[in-house]
Amino acid sequence: MELMEKIVSLCKRRGFIFQGSEIYGGLANTWDYGPYGVELKNNLKRAWWKACVYDRGDCFGMDSSILMHPRVWEASGHVDNFFDLKSDCKSCKKRFKTEDLKDKYRCPECAGELTESRPFNLMFKTHQGPVEEAANTIHLRPETAQGMFVNFLNILDSKHPKLPFGMAQIGKSFRNEITPGNFTFRTREFEQMEIEYFVRPEDAERAHAEWVENRFNWYLALGMKAENLRKRQHGKDELAHYAHACMDIEYNFPFGWSELEGIANRSDYDLKQHAQYSSKDLQYFDDAAKERFYPYIIEPSGGVDRAVLAFLIDAYHEEKVKDETRVVLKLDKELVPIKAAILPLLRNRPEIVELAKNIAQGLKKSIVTVYDDTGSIGKLYRRQDEVGTLYCITIDVQTLEDKQVTVRDRDTMLQERISIDKLKEYLLNKLK
Ligand code: ATP
């Protein structure tokens, strides 16, 4: 089986990610995060928030709305510029992104004739209120960034920050992609984690380089393998109309090197545009130098779903143990959904089961712990390995006598006997 198929299959089998609306035959390219998927995703977002908001102190958190004033998308350039070129097949009716086609005239699937390529705006349209008319048309946001630019003044007025400072936001974005695919890599509904970092224009180049390093190292610090990560500078012809520079952080996905996150120097384009369209003064006043100006913006913009997918792929590990293949998700301890599993060795012995449940209950308040007695010990270990659980703790007959449990380490598979009253402290130390 190909690696990507193995990941998709493990995600479904173990409750990470399911096909959206599956019992109705599925809605193409929509995915639902299950019990372990949502834990992993939340841990990832928490790690990002910690690194970008709490640990720095110069970035302010935001949670702006998905629906925004229609003028926002005129000011941002999305109404005029957020297009992909598409070509339709006249025979099989399939739609293609023109830039992906080798032959612009022949369908790559059925060799039918293709229509001329036409621009296709990627923003999802809907109507606000009960009347469906042009005046009520609004869009689902295609990026979280604009929600921060339009709140720049609110941050200045409420927090009085000095440059450089940033705004940070995690939230859903929507793009009517022509060719979604590769599991959760490209979907029409996805989550972004974005920072808008405001700097003096002369500091922009340096700040851009610093953010590239900072964001690259964040993936490494969470255990991503260095050989699967690289930086790629955008060529002049690739740059968005507002950007002075852009560096992508790419991951070596099974389908090739692809973007995980982009870090752009957006110049002073956004604030100038919104100042013009809203007629509000969005300049920053530098008290010491007594000057007003538009700050430049450095934007590290990553995808939550893409990062989750990359971490899953990176952590997937197979090894031979005797005659069996052991599948382990070697996720970093900060990301892994479950830290400890309590497994009674004999599930038909009530005193063992009761003790095991009590131990699990005692750990739960401080450590994400599951209790499982629904299979043989071999099966229980396999299950926990496949979701990456760091420590499996077994309770056996011996435990009833010596009040000790066996703790098995996911990565080394070494087992240690630890007394029940020291267990929580032992695990908390390991998890530090
Ligand atoms: P791509 O070239 O892959 O379409 P992009 O350059 O348009 O991506 P950006 O606008 O820079 O993407 O968005 C920032 C981040 O948001 C991307 O690096 C990616 O992680 C995520 N992202 C963008 N589009 C999607 C999508 N359709 N599905 C999942 N994640 C996405």
Read off the pLDDT of residues 146-199 as tens digits, 9 standing for 90 and up.
999 999 999 999 999 999 999 999 999 999 999 899 999 999 999 999 999 999
Q: Indicate whether 176 and 236 sit together in one domain.
A: yes
Identity of the amino acid at 196 = E
Q: Indicate whether 350 and 249 sit together in one domain.
A: no
Given a cut of 90, is residue 135 above it in pLDDT? no
Alpha-carbon gap, residue 15 to 1, rounded angstroms: 20
Given a cut of 90, is residue 132 above it in pLDDT? no
Higher pLDDT, 136 or 261: 261
Question: Which residue's CA is the nearest one to ligand 1's atom 10?
Answer: 143
Ligand 1 centroid to Cα of residue 260, in Å, is 8
Question: Which residue's CA is the nearest one to ligand 1's atom 22?
Answer: 303
Q: What pLDDT band is residue 238 in, cutting at 50, 70 and 90? A: confident
Does any domain span residue 44? yes
DSSP string, 75-120: HTTHHHH-EEEEEEBTTT--EEEGGG-SSSSB-TTT-PBBPPPEEE
Mean of the pLDDT values across residues 67-90?
93
Nearest partner of 17 among 257, 305, 219, 260, judged by Cα: 305
Does any domain span residue 98? no
Nearest partner of 410 among 324, 314, 340, judged by Cα: 340
Higher pLDDT, 240 or 400: 400
Ligand 1 centroid to Cα of residue 68, in Å, is 20
What percent of the chain has a predicted confidence (pLDDT) above 90?
89
Ligand 1 centroid to Cα of residue 228, in Å, is 19
Q: Indicate whether 223 and 357 sit together in one domain.
A: no
Question: pTM of the prediction?
Answer: 0.95
How many domains does one find in the chain? 2
Alpha-carbon gap, residue 112 to 121, rounded angstroms: 25
User: What pLDDT was estimated at residue 317?
Assistant: 97
Does any domain span residue 365? yes
Alpha-carbon gap, residue 387 to 37, rounded angstroms: 10
Ligand 1 centroid to Cα of residue 150, in Å, is 21
Cα angle value 190/275/209 (rounded, 5°): 55
Instruction: Please report which residue ranges of 280-396 form alpha helices under DSSP H.
Output: 304-315, 350-364, 377-387
User: What pLDDT was estimated at residue 206?
Assistant: 98
C-beta of residue 176 within 8 angstroms of C-beta of residue 141: no
User: What pLDDT was estimated at residue 410?
Assistant: 97
Does any domain span residue 352? yes
Does any domain span residue 14? yes
- Here the tokens at position 82 are 């957020």
CATH code, domain with 186: 3.30.930.10
Given a cut of 80, is residue 418 above it in pLDDT? yes
Write out the residue range of the structural domain in which residue 386 sits: 338-431
Given a cut of 80, is residue 357 above it in pLDDT? yes
Q: Indicate whether 300 and 373 sit together in one domain.
A: no
Q: Give the residues surrounding ligand 1 with Cβ less than 6 Å away.
A: 143, 175, 177, 186-187, 190, 192, 259-262, 301-303, 305-306
Q: Indicate whether 367 and 425 sit together in one domain.
A: yes
Q: Indicate whether 385 and 244 sit together in one domain.
A: no
229-233 and 83-88 strand pairing: unpaired
Mean of the pLDDT values across residues 84-94?
92
Question: Which residue's CA is the nearest one to ligand 1's atom 28?
Answer: 186
